[in-house]
Amino acid sequence: MAVTMNQDLCRERAAASFNPELLTHILDGSPEKTRRRREIENLILNDPDFQHEDLNFLSRSQRYEVAVRKSATMVKKIREFGISDPDEIMWFKKLHMSNFPEPVGLNFSMFIPTLLNQGTTAQQEKWLLSSKGLEIIGTYTQTELGHGTHLRGLETTATYDPKTQEFILNSPTVTSIKWWPGGLGKTSNHAIVLAQLYTKGKCYGLHAFIVPIREIGTHKPLPGITVGDIGPKFGYDEVDNGYLKMDHYRIPRENMLMKHAQVKPDGTYVKPMSNKLTYGTMVFIRSVLVGEAARCLAKACTIAIRYSAVRHQSEIKPGEPEPQILDFQTQQYKLFPLLATAYAFHFVGDYMKETYHRINEDIGHGDLSELPELHALSAGLKAFTSWTANAAIEACRMACGGHGYSHCSGLPNIYVTFTPTCTFEGENTVMMLQTARFLMKSYDQVHSGKLVCGMVSYLNDLQSQRIQPQQVAVWPAGVDINSPDSLTEAYKLRAARLVEMAATNLQTEVSHRKSKEVAWNLTSVDLVRASEAHCHYVVVKLFSEQLLKIQDRSVQAVLRNLCLLYALYGISQKAGDFLQESILTDSQITQVHQCIKELLTVIRPDAVALVDAFDFRDASLGSVLGRYDGNVYENLFEWAKTSPLNKAEVHESYYKHLKPLQSKL
């Protein structure tokens, strides 16, 4: 049966100024990648094994079981379809698991990458193939009941016994119980455990160990292991986040990951070439999370913008038909800057992925020079993008009015699944402070007469700016608010000034005879502001640089409008910084606000085409409101009718509780 398209969406698509397909190719990386991604998605959509019930109507235990079943099917199908490229596996998983996390997720995102980054060739030969096929199901246990982001505070111990050539793993306190790792509760049979290494009576800090936790075959916990699920959470119902308590549990010496640091059979500790080499997995996952922020925000924008084109409400001119709510300037102001942000974060995610792979090759050749900046950038951008996307997804939900609150909109699921990103792989404030540490080091370098390179090279200009008193600087007149390059310069100057301010305030606190640590805490609000300004500059810079790579004029024009909106909206939200630092004048800020309103009008005809370019299948969006065909209301009614509460015309609770009460009245 042919699907009739909603007429509003047909008109929107016909009115677009560009071909969304060309933009999809840019987002995917090439027309060939788009073709291949769709081919893989069609394998899933046309396979009866992938059809499943609506998870919104299932209990937690049922959702977990469906997720485990889908994970097992997925591994079989990836083998069957001969998919081996990492990007292709990711496309496969994203659509197959829809918007929901998977219990075996950490096996692929943390266990295997850590094994590759920190395991010797022999260790990889022993565990890698089994973990790819899910004979070994691994998780990654770092966080404890008492400590998360502060790694040095972790209490789990691994004490080497040279007599038996074993490590004894122990959870000495209640706060040392491993807590939160995904898939730990009921799914995994192995864990990479981070523990404080003790050998020859000395502690050498955190190291990674491969620890069997359940018996292969029976799946029962091994003696000395206490493991289970931590209970219901805000979201992630499909995942068995777990706890792990070890009681003097012995593993062979060979189970310590020894690519970098080693413990010899006699207990001698061999330290790694660089302590920073173990950052690999963390940097990788944070780079991935930047892309995930873009993807989840793009989904939320797709739902909210399509629905806003279908929904008619109220009136702009009395007596005329109800307009689409996307015609209200306030709705455009809510949604279009978020759409621009989704595009900005997509390009930043691509940059992070490319940079990670490039620097990883350098590390392979013994060149660690760029690692500190990559570590700082991945920490800061992970925080910046996840905080922004988190608030933006919720803004999209509220922009959908009452229906946005229903699970049928897909937005509550996107939100509760994404929001833990602000905490895991490094709590965001702590991540911003790590970036700040790098910024302060770079500032000190410049101050002592050395040049810095990379994304912080703007600090080299601080000396020359100081020669000219701020009041007579020629800068303000030089900002062209219609030029992405000029706006990038404005953001660069804001970052430089806020870094300088944080450094000066830190120095002032130190000079009051405070220890560096106390001074750091007393300046930490300024330090986070500096990091945020640095990350904001990087995002604007990367977005504007992306424009130069685009050949098609119409696509370039529409992306240029989004880039301008992203940069100008950011200035409007942080106007105080730009005014206080004399980067922009009062009249320029007024112009910024006016320009934003003009851009909303310019972007309006392209809004639906811009979300279509993300190319999410309906199965991936999981939203009645965001359907490609726009047939929202009839499907909303059909969806509601399938609620388990509607199985019986009269619910049993009526006979149990209400009828007896009514008969007594």
Catalytic residue set? 425
Task: Give the whole-angstrom CA distance, residue 164 versus residue 248.
Answer: 14
DSSP state of 167: E
> How crowded is residue 123: how many other Cβ atoms within 10 Å of its Cβ?
19
What Cα–Cα distance (Å) separates residue 599 from each residue in 322, 565, 605, 612, 626? 24, 7, 11, 20, 24
DSSP state of 658: I
Give the chain's length.
Answer: 665
What Cα–Cα distance (Å) separates residue 606 from each residue in 47, 483, 610? 34, 21, 6
| Packing angle of the helix pair 371-399, 411-418 (nearest 10 deg) | 150
* Torsion angle in degrees (nearest 10) through CA of 415, 418, 423, 426: -160
Task: Give the whole-angstrom CA distance, residue 503 versus residue 45.
Answer: 54
CA 245: distance to chain centroid? 29
Task: Give the whole-angstrom CA distance, residue 494 versus residue 476.
Answer: 12
Q: CB-hemisphere CA count at 13 Å for 129? A: 4
- b/e sequence 566-591, b meaning 16+ C-beta within 10 Å: bbbbbbeebbebbbebebbeeebbeb
Q: Are 366 and 360 in contact (CB under 8 A)?
A: no
In one-letter notation, the amino acid at residue 290 is V
Q: Which residues contact 324 (CB under 8 A, 6 or more apart)?
A: 8, 308, 309, 310, 311, 312
Q: Are 236 and 246 in contact (CB under 8 A)?
A: no
Task: Give the whole-angstrom CA distance, residue 664 versus residue 659.
Answer: 9
Alpha helices in 448-552 (DSSP H): 462-467, 475-478, 484-511, 516-522, 524-547
Task: Give the whole-angstrom CA distance, residue 7 versus residue 522.
Answer: 58
- b/e sequence 37-76, b meaning 16+ C-beta within 10 Å: bbebbebbbeeeebeeeebbebeeeebbebbbebbebbee
Task: Give the whole-angstrom CA distance, residue 472 versus residue 193.
Answer: 58
* Torsion angle in degrees (nearest 10) through CA of 81, 84, 89, 91: -80
| Packing angle of the helix pair 524-547, 428-447 (nearest 10 deg) | 90
Give the tokens for residue 664: 């007594």
